[in-house]
Structure 1
Amino acid sequence: MLQLELRGDYIELDKLLKALGLVSSGGEARMRISEGEVQVDGQLELRKTAKIRAGQQVAFAGQQVQVLGSSASS
């Protein structure tokens, strides 16, 4: 399982896929999301800029991503 630590309150779904290197570009991320290839917390997610927050899990291309809160937040 991959992990991503947030720097703020959330990250947009397309940016998350690109940040982890699961896609080669933002355009590819948006296309794959719109084609129904991404799940968030076990549910199909079609919103390209869905706000993904700490504690959520994203599934894409056989990978599971756990989103962690910033260690600097209190």
Structure 2
Amino acid sequence: MIEFELQGEFIPLIQLLKATNLVQTGGEAQIVVSEGEVTYNGNIDTRKRLKVKRGDVVEFRGTSIRVI
């Protein structure tokens, strides 16, 4: 599990995937989100601009990210 320390109030989902090096580009992040490969707090979510906040858990290809 990756623990990601949030600096502001939120981080957009596609930026979180890039910041944790789970994808190489923003374009790749948009594709995997729109294809339903990412779960947000246990549910598939296809919103690219989703605001991820402290306490949220995102999972992608077997890797979990907990936002702290």
Name the TM-score, length of structure 1 as normaliser: 0.90
Aligned residues: 68
| Runs of 4+ residues over 6 Å off in structure 1 | none
- CA-based RMSD: 0.4
Q: Which amino acid counterpart does residue 39 of structure 1 have in structure 2?
A: T
Question: Is 2:62 the partner of 1:67?
Answer: no
Name the TM-score, length of structure 2 as normaliser: 0.98
Instruction: Give aligned-pair identity as a percent.
Output: 44
Matched with 1:58 is 58
Aligned pairs (5 A) from 1:29-68: 29-68=29-68
Q: Describe the SS at the equivalent of 1:21.
A: coil
Q: Give, in whole Å, the separation in 1 of the partners of 2:30 and 2:61.
A: 14
Query: Please, which runs of 5 or more residues in structure 1 have no aligned partner?
Result: 69-74
Q: Give, in whole Å, the separation in 2 of the partners of 1:52 and 1:8.
A: 11
Q: Which amino acid counterpart does residue 17 of structure 1 have in structure 2?
A: L
Query: Please, which runs of 5 or more residues in structure 2 have no aligned partner?
Result: none
